[in-house]
Structure 1
């Protein structure tokens, strides 16, 4: 059995703290205590706390992108588009603190719309965009700027999740999931030709 290297152990400990208590709970001292090293030893692997949090965020984006990428081929494009939003919801509910940091907090290196997205720098948005373009080509969604439609769908899903995270709905999880899905269907119905 191989043991993870120190950098991996640091990341795992930091992510566990992050998932349990949020970004503010991730201190170099707490991470070092969890790993069994000194706080200064962490700096051999991560130049700062922000770099460590950035790596956690990048890894969480990669995790979502892998799930979305699995829906890149096959199926009806609208079904693929809905599947990506369900994965987004699943991630937000399973990892609320990571979701908040990745999608609700200001981050210096976050990708920005439109330039970064149009340049293909968002692995998650790229999958959605491909589904929108295909749905437009099939006549399932209205024509026009495919990136604008992609962002409309994403912003709708994101807004619902942000409201849920802020306690603005009285649904239990199952009720919110049902509302989320129905609301996305309403939005897509309104985007048809």
Structure 2
């Protein structure tokens, strides 16, 4: 029970103050335990960051697993739309999944090639299906996945820094740029 209470306190602090406000002392106080008691459940701040990241990634994976498009290109477009919705509707969990400096964060490209990211693995499967159908060129699936993820995260970062004139403009540009990126790998464009 204490571990759940500590995690809930860490999540609440992260939601309100971001990673800068997340201290062991503050989490322990909010959870109603001593800092020493907290260390029985989480070795250090890094362990808390890992738990928050895992929670965010689990939420993201659940969203992606719910996508039902059969066509691989439609599925890839749906996953980019789901990413946008996740970033806007659950910003703190999104940040925990993708922006926390967690010690156990997955590293490109090795962790992704090794299949340590269930979502990237699903994306790479759809990319390979589209390639087998002749709809994407010969760029390795991990490179296409990285291009899509980098562009999506970069655009979300720009939106968070108020670099777009409006939320509507951000949504339109996000969708257009991700579609353009995906289409840039099309086998038809290279002929």
10, 16, 21: which one aligns with 1:14: 10
178, 188, 192: which one aligns with 2:182: 188
Normalising by structure 2, report the TM-score.
0.87
Within 1, Cα distance between the matches of 2:107 and 2:25?
33
Within 1, Cα distance between the matches of 2:184 and 2:4?
46
Gap runs ≥5 in structure 2: none
Q: CA deviation at 1:108?
A: 3.0
Change in Cα spacing, 1:101 to 1:59, as seen in structure 2 (3 Å) is closer
RMSD (Å), alpha carbons = 2.0
Q: Give a deviation string over 1:56-98, Cα, whole Å, max 9, x none.
A: 1111112111221223x64211121122222222222234344
The equivalent of 1:82 in structure 2 is 77
Q: CA deviation at 1:144?
A: 3.1
Normalising by structure 1, report the TM-score.
0.86
The equivalent of 1:118 in structure 2 is 113
The equivalent of 1:108 in structure 2 is 103
Within 2, Cα distance between the matches of 1:38 and 1:106?
25
Q: CA deviation at 1:129?
A: 0.7
Within 2, Cα distance between the matches of 1:106 and 1:148?
23
Q: CA deviation at 1:183?
A: 1.7
Segment of structure 1 superposing worse, 104-113 or 162-171: 104-113
Within 2, Cα distance between the matches of 1:18 and 1:120?
28
Within 1, Cα distance between the matches of 2:158 and 2:73?
24
Within 2, Cα distance between the matches of 1:137 and 1:129?
12
| 2:158 is equivalent to residue 167 of structure 1 | no
49, 64, 88: which one aligns with 1:53: 49
Change in Cα spacing, 1:62 to 1:47, as seen in structure 2 (3 Å) is same
Q: Give a deviation string over 1:115-146, Cα, whole Å, max 9, x none.
A: 21111111121111111111111122222312
65, 69, 78: which one aligns with 2:65: 69
The equivalent of 1:25 in structure 2 is 21
User: Contact 1:21 / 1:97 at 8 angstroms: preserved in 2?
Assistant: no
